Chain A
Amino acid sequence: SAVISQKPSRDICQRGTSLTIQCQVDSQVTMMFWYRQQPGQSLTLIATANQGSEATYESGFVIDKFPISRPNLTFSTLTVSNMSPEDSSIYLCSALPYSSGEEDEQFFGPGTRLTVL
């Protein structure tokens, strides 16, 4: 299993600014992911955070807007750049302890609620 914490838990930001969200896992994990969830909606995968290499982004998400770092096996950051009110959402980090395709239990952080004014 894995316990995941995120910082900050919530923030209110001005348009045009950037916010970096931190994700810390209590154990080494193979895979880490970043999701976005609009209130009352489902989860949309933003990217896979790869340790030691560039993140893999899903269609509709680009590195300039959502730069991601993963310096080691327990930590990742997501930056929401040049924010607009449309970026207001909940951002969730998740981790997969194993990468075998057979034990795909993702553990999720509590989320970061972002409001852009």
Chain B
Amino acid sequence: LAKTTQPISMDSYEGQEVNITCSHNNIATNDYITWYQQFPSQGPRFIIQGYKTKVTNEVASLFIPADRKSSTLSLPRVSLSDTAVYYCLVVSYSGAGSYQLTFGKGTKLSVIP
């Protein structure tokens, strides 16, 4: 089971790019990396998912080096509304609907005006 490690908290000013790194040293060959955002009193919300190299969508980019032992979530030009907890999740899928889901402890991002 892949264990994940991420910083407990980060601060950033509005308009800056924020990079949050997650370590998952024992990630298995078929595992995926997924990132979620959670606001207080709400369920987590999917941000982005990747297997290797770089993935970009309308809200974020995900960088995964060749060894896949870490991944970096990049949020461009953050705003106050990006203040939330960001979770790294390693998804192990072994077929026939069998999943192992390991959430990191989360990084609390505070965006400062």
Using CB atoms and an 8 Å cutoff, list the residues of chain A in contact with chain B: 4, 30-31, 33, 41-45, 48, 50, 56, 92, 94, 96, 99, 101-102, 104-111
Distance between Cα atoms of A105 and B89 in the complex (Å)? 11
Please name the residue on chain A nearest to B94 by beta carbon: A101
Are B95 and A101 in contact (CB-based, < 8 A)?
Answer: yes
Q: Is the CB of B46 within 8 A of A101?
A: no
Residue among A30, A45, A101, A108 having the largest count of chain B Cβ atoms under 10 Å = A101
Contact B97 A31 (CB under 8 A): yes
Cβ 8 A contact of A108, one of B45, B93, B104: B45
In the complex, are the beta carbons of B46 and A106 less than 8 A apart? yes
Q: Inside 8 A of A4's CB, which chain B residues have their CB?
A: 43
> Binary interface profile of B, 26-62, with partner A (CB < 8 Å = 1, else 0)?
0000101010100001111110010000000000000
Which residue among A4, A96, A106 has the maximum number of chain B CB atoms within 10 Å of its CB?
A: A106
- Asked if B44 and A43 make an inter-chain contact with CB atoms under 8 angstroms apart, the answer reads yes
| Nearest CB of A to B61, in Å | 17
